[in-house]
Each structure stands twice: as structure tokens, then as C-alpha cells.
């Protein structure tokens, strides 16, 4: 047992930590490099209308634009701004929620080309509804910013007159900041990742998934055959639920609507578990552990509520 545990540490702990550390290092360097060159306002122009309406800062706009390319770089940009006092905690939470739309587009090609071959027309509905949920979350963030953030924040979107920084100077400054920051990242990330490895190793997440599958009385409104899709979605992975949906559609055992609803329910139930298992350790490397937990929690609750609302509207209007 002990030998098995030690043999699993290299592929399941050390290698993932190395990969995540490299991603975070690249993200930190890019974020610092952009700031050193004073490009924050330039990047923010892509999201300027939404930023102005939500009274968000230029850093949030730059992070939003960067999130279409790299989620790590977008988050490190927010972490750097928060640590320097350029952003309140309230805006940090909203900014992290605001980046859900770019994250959706970042994963869209994989989701789309995985679902279409298996469930065909149902894939368009499923992707369309999850996209609607992401849009709804963006609207809620903008409205929340309008209500909760100070009015003078939109002045941060005005071009700043700063001394021009050369590429060499920006590179040296970014490298120096990266070296200082990575030590703090590793201190928090390694213990958290190891802890969640042990949780997974000794079946904590499996017990949670089995509990959800066994106590799914609140899903009695679903077609009993579609529960198999939900269970596979929660206990294994998205592709397993899609495969089951494909078979049931081909046999005319379920309608397109029933398949779409089952996939949405599976999405709502499975994503928080996977976020805690995979997203929280990575967030702990960028933010403090407590702040990482809060950001992941806010993100998952908001996302789930938006998907639930979209699913309820789809259920009653079709």
C-alpha cells in the first residue's frame, strides 16, 4: 500500500505540480510584462463598453481580454493588482466572475467538437444554453458592478501618461518580479495539491460523487433513463455521459429535450466537484488559500445559479 502510494506521487503529484508551476510562471511573466510596458489600458479597450457600464477598472478589462488567450495570465494579472492595492476585494470577485465568458470561449472548440459527433442537434442546444448562462453571468456582473462599485472607477479607463518603458527594461523587471512571486506560489500550492491528492487517493471525492448519485431524489422530474447520463457525468467524465446520451438518442429512448436537460443537470452537479479537485489547488498558487477558496466558491455558485435558471426556462418554454 505504501509502495503504491509512493509510486503514484511522481505521475499524480510531482509532474502535475511542475506543469502547473510552469503555466503559472508563464502567466506571471506575461502579466508583469504587460504591466511593465503600460499596456493595461490598451488591452482594456476591447471590453471598454462593459467595463464602463460595470464601473470596473482597466485591470479588469485587461484581464478579461487576456482570458480569451490564457486563464492563468488573466488570473495572475488580477492577483498582482489586488496585492498592490490597485483593486478592491469586491472588484476582484466580480472580475473573476467577469472572466467566465472568455473561459467559455477558451473551452468552446473542445466542447463543441466533442458533443456534435455524439449527440448532433442536441449539441447545438446544449452549447447554446451553456453559452446563454455565461452571457447571463456577464450581465449580472456588470449590473452588480454598477450597484456595488464606486462611480469614479470608470476614470481608470482613461489613457494614462506614463514614461515609455523599453522591452529590455520590461523583461528584466518582469523576471525580477517573477522570481519573488514564485516562492510564495510554491509555498501555498504544493501543500494544497498534496492534500487534495490524498483526498482523491483515499476516496473522498468518490464518496461525494456516490452520495450525489444515490441521493438524487431531487431529480425525480427527469426521465428515469436520463439519470444514467447524469450519474456518468458526475462519477466519471463528460465524454461518458455524452456516449450514454448518444446511445439513448439512437434508440429513441430519450428525446432531444430530455438529453439536453440531463446534460445540464450533470454539468451543474459535476463542475463544483471538479473545480474543488482541480481548480482550487491551481488558484491557491496564484491567490492566498483563503481567497482562492472564496473565488472558486463564488464562481461555482454563480455559474450553477445561471445554468439552473437557463435550464428552468428551457424546461418550461419547450
Q: Within 13 A of 230's CA, how many CA atoms are on the CB side?
A: 25
**Phi, psi (deg, nearest 5) at residue 40:** -55, -50
pLDDT classification of 219: cutoffs 50, 70, 90: low
pLDDT classification of 40: cutoffs 50, 70, 90: low
pLDDT tens per residue, range 116-171: 887 888 999 999 999 999 999 999 999 999 999 987 554 444 444 445 556 666 67
In the chain, count of helices (H) and strands (E)?
16, 0
CA terminus-to-terminus distance, the chain: 53
In this structure, the dihedral spanned by the alpha carbons of residues 262, 263, 264 and 269, taken in order and rounded to 10 degrees, is 90
* More confident call, 293 vs 205: 293
Q: In this predicted structure, what is the pLDDT of residue 101?
A: 87
28-42, 70-84, 274-288, 289-303, range with greatest mean pLDDT = 289-303
Amino acid at each position: 500500500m505504501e509502495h503504491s502510494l509512493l509510486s503514484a506521487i511522481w505521475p499524480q503529484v510531482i509532474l502535475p505540480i511542475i506543469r502547473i508551476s510552469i503555466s503559472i510562471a508563464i502567466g506571471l511573466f506575461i502579466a508583469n510584462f504587460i504591466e511593465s510596458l503600460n499596456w493595461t489600458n490598451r488591452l482594456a479597450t476591447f471590453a471598454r463598453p462593459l467595463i464602463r457600464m460595470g464601473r470596473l477598472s482597466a485591470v479588469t478589462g485587461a484581464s478579461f481580454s487576456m482570458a480569451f488567450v490564457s486563464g492563468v495570465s488573466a488570473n495572475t494579472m488580477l492577483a498582482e493588482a489586488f496585492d498592490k492595492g490597485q483593486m478592491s476585494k469586491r472588484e476582484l470577485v466580480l472580475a473573476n466572475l467577469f472572466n467566465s465568458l472568455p473561459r467559455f470561449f477558451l473551452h468552446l472548440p473542445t466542447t463543441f467538437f466533442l458533443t456534435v459527433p455524439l449527440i448532433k442537434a442536441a449539441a447545438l442546444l446544449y452549447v447554446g444554453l451553456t453559452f446563454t448562462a455565461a452571457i447571463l453571468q456577464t450581465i449580472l456582473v456588470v449590473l452588480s458592478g454598477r450597484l456595488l462599485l464606486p462611480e469614479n472607477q470608470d476614470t481608470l479607463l482613461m489613457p494614462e501618461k506614463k514614461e515609455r518603458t523599453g522591452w529590455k527594461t520590461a523583461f528584466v523587471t518582469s523576471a525580477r518580479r517573477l522570481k519573488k512571486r514564485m516562492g510564495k506560489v510554491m509555498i501555498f500550492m504544493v501543500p494544497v495539491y498534496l492534500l487534495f491528492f490524498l483526498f482523491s487517493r483515499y476516496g473522498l471525492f468518490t464518496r461525494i460523487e456516490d452520495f450525489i448519485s444515490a441521493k438524487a431524489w431531487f431529480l425525480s422530474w427527469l426521465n428515469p433513463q436520463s439519470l444514467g447520463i447524469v450519474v456518468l457525468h458526475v462519477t466519471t467524465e463528460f465524454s461518458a455521459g455524452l456516449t450514454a446520451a448518444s446511445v439513448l438518442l439512437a434508440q429513441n429512448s430519450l428525446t432531444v429535450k430530455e438529453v439536453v436537460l440531463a446534460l445540464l443537470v450533470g454539468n451543474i452537479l459535476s463542475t463544483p466537484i471538479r473545480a474543488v479537485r482541480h481548480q482550487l489547488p491551481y488558484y491557491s498558487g496564484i491567490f492566498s488559500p483563503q481567497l482562492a477558496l472564496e473565488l472558486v466558491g463564488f464562481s461555482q455558485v454563480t455559474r450553477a445559479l445561471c445554468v439552473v435558471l437557463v435550464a428552468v426556462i428551457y424546461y418550461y418554454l419547450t
